[in-house]
Amino acid sequence: MSLKSHCKWRERKKILGIVVLVGTVLALAPGRVPGQVRKTCEGGVTLKLNAGITAQGSLLIVEVAEAKPLAELAGDWDGREIPLWREGEKSGSLHGLIGVDLEKPPGRYAWKVSWKNAAGEAKSCSAFVTVRPGKFPTERLTLEKQFVQPDPEQQKRAEEDQKKMRAILENVTPERFWDGKFQVPLKGVTTGGNFGRRRILNGEARSPHAGVDFPALAGTPVFAAQAGKVALAEELYYSGNTVVIDHGYGIYTLYAHLSQIEVKPGDSVTLATELGKVGATGRVTGPHLHWGLTVERARVNALQIVQREP
């Protein structure tokens, strides 16, 4: 290597060092979380996302910061409206949650926010999120034939259950019932498993497992994960005795395979409300609690909502 090119290399190393240093300082700047996305838009609007790269089955926390209250503010994620709410009267920012469905095709998606400016002109701004495949294991199960190949009557029942569930989850109550953090519905339990597991039942591929399973003794009390309203409380073919809670803004939690149900549709619940007891009703191999979370119909890992305050 000639002296000249050696010096050039040293020069380059120096520049590289400065770039690395600047990068580190930026990453450590207050209020800046690594991986977070911040998009500055016109009219003093800033879009914030807790992550620019995410995986199937994840929850995204979004925020719109406004210089002054914006008119007709609306959020959209891949063609679905994402509700936005203010924490206080004059907070200067709006909050929202985006659920990335566990079967959402990997790719790049826009979170688009639109509003009207003071002159009444329609404005919009987008931030982008890359969705990567989730790391889900595959499970092979052998179950009684009646549950794998339901007879026509059972099939009809299962389809009716599904239709009913879809109609409930489709509703976006424009009100926030929850206050503070969500909690795991079993006392003293923090971890569960099986979310996203691809199931092969008696050799046939089935829809992925959309909830988190908590092993627990039959009879263990099950509590509401947060305040809300009971949207469903009845026995369903696959999930047995099931309770669905509407927490508002398109957020629902589901509790399945209960031995008994202690609430009824329309009831208001809080963190202290016992919904029922752990059981083994429906399509199960033993007693456990199946806990599901859907955000705007997207099936999300429920444990993600207890890890952060939405």
Alpha-carbon distances, residue 81 vs 76, 95, 174, 245, 247 (angstroms): 4, 14, 12, 21, 17
Q: Of the listed pieces 43-51, 100-108, 158-166, 283-291, which binds Zn ion according to CB under 5 A?
A: 283-291
CA-CA distance, 152 to 158, in Å (whole number)?
10
- List of residues 6+ apart from 53 with CB closer than 8 A: 35, 129, 130, 132
- Tokens standing for residue 70: 């914006």
Return the number of the residue (57 or 248) whose C-beta is nearest Zn ion.
Answer: 57
Which of 290, 302, 306, 310 touches Zn ion by CB under 5 A? 290
Return the number of the residue (14 or 206) whose C-beta is nearest Zn ion.
Answer: 206
Q: Of the listed pieces 61-69, 131-139, 160-168, 284-292, which binds Zn ion according to CB under 5 A?
A: 284-292
Smallest separation (angstroms) from Zn ion to the CB of 194: 6
Residues that bind Zn ion (rule: CB under 5 A) add up to a total of: 3
Query: Residues 227-256 vs Zn ion: string with x where CB under 5 A?
Result: ------------------------------
Burial 163-202 (b: 16+ CB within 10 A, else e): eebeebbeebbeebbbeeebbbbbeeeeebebbbbebebe
Return the number of the residue (146 or 285) whose C-beta is nearest Zn ion.
Answer: 285
Q: Which helix (H) or strand (E) holds 306?
A: helix 303-306
Backbone angles phi, psi at 161, to 5 degrees: -60, -45
Smallest separation (angstroms) from Zn ion to the CB of 289: 8
- List of residues 6+ apart from 221 with CB closer than 8 A: 186, 187, 274, 276, 277, 278
Smallest separation (angstroms) from Zn ion to the CB of 160: 21
Query: Residues 194-213 vs Zn ion: string with x where CB under 5 A?
Result: -----------------x-x
Smallest separation (angstroms) from Zn ion to the CB of 284: 8
- Which residue in the shown chain puts its C-beta closest to Zn ion? 290
Smallest separation (angstroms) from Zn ion to the CB of 71: 44
Alpha-carbon distances, residue 256 vs 79, 105, 156, 245, 274 (angstroms): 30, 27, 20, 12, 14
For residue 226, the 8-state DSSP code is S
Q: Of the listed pieces 94-102, 218-226, 228-236, 282-290, which binds Zn ion according to CB under 5 A?
A: 282-290
Return the number of the residue (49 or 289) whose C-beta is nearest Zn ion.
Answer: 289
Check binding of 112 to Zn ion (CB under 5 A).
no
Contacts with Zn ion by CB under 5 A lie at: 211, 213, 290
